[in-house]
Amino acid sequence: MVDDLRPVFAVEYSLSQNATHILSLRAMVANNRKNVLRAMRSDYVPIGLFNSREDAERFDLEFRPTLDEQAQREFKNRNWSHISQILTELLAKYSNLDTDEE
C-alpha cells in the first residue's frame, strides 16, 4: 500500500439516490473495501478528483443544483448525455488533477 499519498478528495455520485458525497481518496478506498468484505452493494462512483476538499466542495456546490434540476428530467428517460456534458465542463473548471478519458 502507498503510505505517503498527498491528500486527494473524490466527489462520488449515486444514480439510484441522485446524490453526491465527498470523501478523501483514502476514505473512499477504505469504504469500498468494507463494502466488499460485507458484500454490500453501492452505486456511488467517483466522478471527480480534487487536490483539496475546498475544490471538491466548490465543484459539488455547482454540480448539485444542476443535478437537482436536470436529473429529474433525465432520470425518467435515461438520457444522461446532458448531465455528462455538464459534469465534463465543471471538472474542467474546478479539478486541477488530470481526469481526461483514456
Residue 74: its pLDDT value, please?
59
Q: Which tops the pLDDT comparison, 101 or 85?
A: 85
Percent of the chain residues past pLDDT 90, beyond the cut = 30
Give the residue, 101 or 35, on which the prediction is more confident: 35
Which residues, 6+ apart, have CB-to-CB distance to 77 below 8 Å? none
Q: In what order do the strands lie in the sheet with 19-24?
A: 19-24, 9-14, 44-50
Which tens digits make up the pLDDT trace of 11-57?
998 878 878 999 999 999 999 899 889 999 888 989 899 999 999 99
Q: What one-character-per-residue DSSP string does 43-71 give?
A: -EEEEEEESSHHHHHHHHHHHHHHHHHHH
Residue 102 pLDDT grade (very low, low, confident, very high; cuts 50, 70, 90): very low
Count other C-beta atoms under 10 Å from residue 70's C-beta: 14
pTM: 0.72
User: Cell numbers at residue 25, please?
Assistant: 481518496
